[in-house]
Amino acid sequence: MLERDYLRRGVAEFVGTYALIFVAAGGAAFARTTTDLALANGLVIAVMVSAVGFISGGFFNPAVTLGFLVTRRIAPALAVWYWIVQFGGAALAALTLKWVLPTALENASSLGVPSLQQGISSGSAVVVEAILTFFLLWVVYATAVDERGAFKQIAGLAIGFTIAMGVIFAGPLTGAAMNPARAFGPQLVGDHWSHWWIWYVGPLAGGVIAACLYEILYLRPSRPEPVGPPETGVVEPTPGEAAAE
State the amino acid at position 87 in one-letter form.
Answer: F
Angle at 49 between CA 45 and CA 54, to 5 degrees: 170
Query: What value does the CA radius of gyration of the chain take, rounded to a whole number of Å?
Result: 21
Which of 120, 123, 131, 153 lies closest to 54 in space, CA to CA? 153
Q: What is the pLDDT of residue 243?
A: 46
pTM over 0.85: yes
Q: Which domains does the chain have, with CATH numbers?
A: 6-221 (1.20.1080.10)
Cβ 94 vs Cβ 21: under 8 Å: yes
Half-sphere exposure of 47 (CA within 13 A, CB side): 12
pLDDT per position in the chain (245 positions), as tens?
677 789 999 999 999 999 999 999 999 988 889 999 999 999 999 999 999 999 999 999 999 999 999 999 999 999 999 999 999 999 999 999 999 999 998 888 899 999 999 899 999 999 999 999 999 999 999 999 998 876 667 899 999 999 999 999 999 999 999 999 999 999 999 999 999 999 999 999 999 999 999 999 999 876 665 555 556 555 555 555 544 55
Q: What is the pLDDT of residue 30?
A: 86
State the amino acid at position 137 in one-letter form.
Answer: L
Cβ-count burial 78-100 (b if 16+ within 10 Å, e if not): bbebbbebbbbbbbbbbbbbeee
